[in-house]
C-alpha cells in the first residue's frame, strides 16, 4: 500500500543511531545520507515498483508525540527480537516487548518501541513460527 513515507525527528544526531539500528535489524540499510536526512529501502521506478522507502528528516524543532505509529514488516520473529534489542540499545524506549499479539491474529508476533521523540515504532512478523 505505501510507496514512501517521511518520518520527522527533532534531532538527527539523537535519532539517526536509533533508526539505523532498528532498520538494520530488519534487513534495511541506509541508502542515502545527507545533512538532516536519512533514507532506507528502495525507491520505485517505472521498471520495478514493488518497494517501499522511508525518509527520516530532521526538523530542528521539538516533535510532539501525538500518537503517530509506524509499523515495519520483519522477515521473521528473530528479526522482531533483534529490532527490539537494537532499538533499546540505540536510545529507544520499550513500549511492548517481543511476543505474540493474538488479539490481532494467532501468528501476529510484534515488538513496540518509542523513538527518541516519542513516536511509536513497531516491527511485526505475521508468519507462523
pLDDT at residue number 71: 95
Q: What pLDDT sits at residue 31?
A: 95
100-113 tens-digit pLDDT: 999 999 999 999 99
For each of the domains in the chain, give its residue range(s) and CATH number, in order of start. Answer: 4-125 (3.10.180.10)
Q: Is the pTM of this model over 0.85?
A: yes
Query: Can you read off the three cell numbers belonging to residue 127?
Result: 508468519
Q: Give the sheet arrangement for strand 30-34, strand by strand.
A: 4-9, 53-58, 37-41, 30-34
Mean pLDDT of the chain: 94
Closest to 95 measured CA to CA, from 63, 55, 65: 65
Q: What are the tens digits of pLDDT across the range 57-97? A: 999 898 887 788 999 999 999 999 999 999 999 999 999 99
Amino acid at each position: 500500500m505505501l510507496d514512501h513515507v517521511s518520518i520527522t525527528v527533532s534531532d538527527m544526531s539523537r535519532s539517526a543511531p536509533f533508526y539505523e539500528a532498528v532498520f538494520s535489524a530488519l534487513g534495511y540499510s541506509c541508502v542515502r545520507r545527507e545533512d538532516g536526512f536519512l533514507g532506507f529501502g528502495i525507491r520505485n521506478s517505472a521498471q520495478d515498483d514493488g518497494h517501499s522507502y522511508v525518509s527520516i528528516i530532521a526538523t530542528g524543532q521539538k516533535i510532539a508525540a501525538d500518537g503517530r505509529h509506524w509499523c515495519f514488516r520483519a522477515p521473521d520473529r528473530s528479526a522482531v527480537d533483534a529490532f527490539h534489542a537494537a532499538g533499546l540499545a540505540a536510545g529507544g524506549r520499550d513500549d511492548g516487548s517481543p511476543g505474540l499479539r493474538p488479539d490481532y491474529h494467532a501468528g501476529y508476533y510484534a515488538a513496540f518501541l518509542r523513538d527518541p521523540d516519542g513516536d511509536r515504532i513497531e516491527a511485526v512478523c505475521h508468519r507462523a513460527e
